[in-house]
Amino acid sequence: MFVYKELDVKTVVKTILESSLLVGAVLVIVGASVTFGRILTLERLPTEIATFILSLTENKILILLCITLLLLIVGTFMETLAAIVILTPILLPIVTALAMDCALRYRNDRKPSYSFVTPPLGANLFMASQVGKVPIESLSKAIIGWIGAMLVALMLITFIPAISMTLPNL
């Protein structure tokens, strides 16, 4: 770029500053999510949620639905890695007790990752808003259809294990 004189030092510095602002915004979101996760753990809320889910029913389909709803709700308020680290130790005994397959790992990785595009902590949503210079409100409205498609795909993966287990079973 410097060889062809398409970029000058001033443009590079400006680009680095803009990138730093975007990364900083995402890191603030991640930091808040991790803090929220630690508060949940200290309050032992995940353990109470697991006990509550098991007290409802032993029906595998209802348990999967409860886990799916829990992960979607948690995913909208917490960063994916924090959600997985906090909830996996709680959900693993539930699925082991009910003899569910290893596809749960894949499903649990996908559900919280939807938080990247869902308000209020959608890191990718904030990033796209800042890069495209579009208000977050209008961007949130524009992705409603995509979120619906993701939810349909999620339900298919959750309730039809063959979809997510075809390759691992080969």
pLDDT, averaged across the chain: 78
Greater model confidence, 114 or 104: 114
- C-alpha dihedral sign at 53, 121, 30, 38: negative
d(CA 14, CA 19): 9
Domain spans, the chain: 9-164
- pLDDT of res. 106: 55
Question: pLDDT for 5-16, tens place per residue?
Answer: 677 888 889 989
pTM greater than 0.75: no
Question: pLDDT for 42-88, tens place per residue?
Answer: 888 877 877 887 788 878 888 888 888 887 787 777 767 777 777 77
| 8 Å CB contact between 74 and 83 | yes
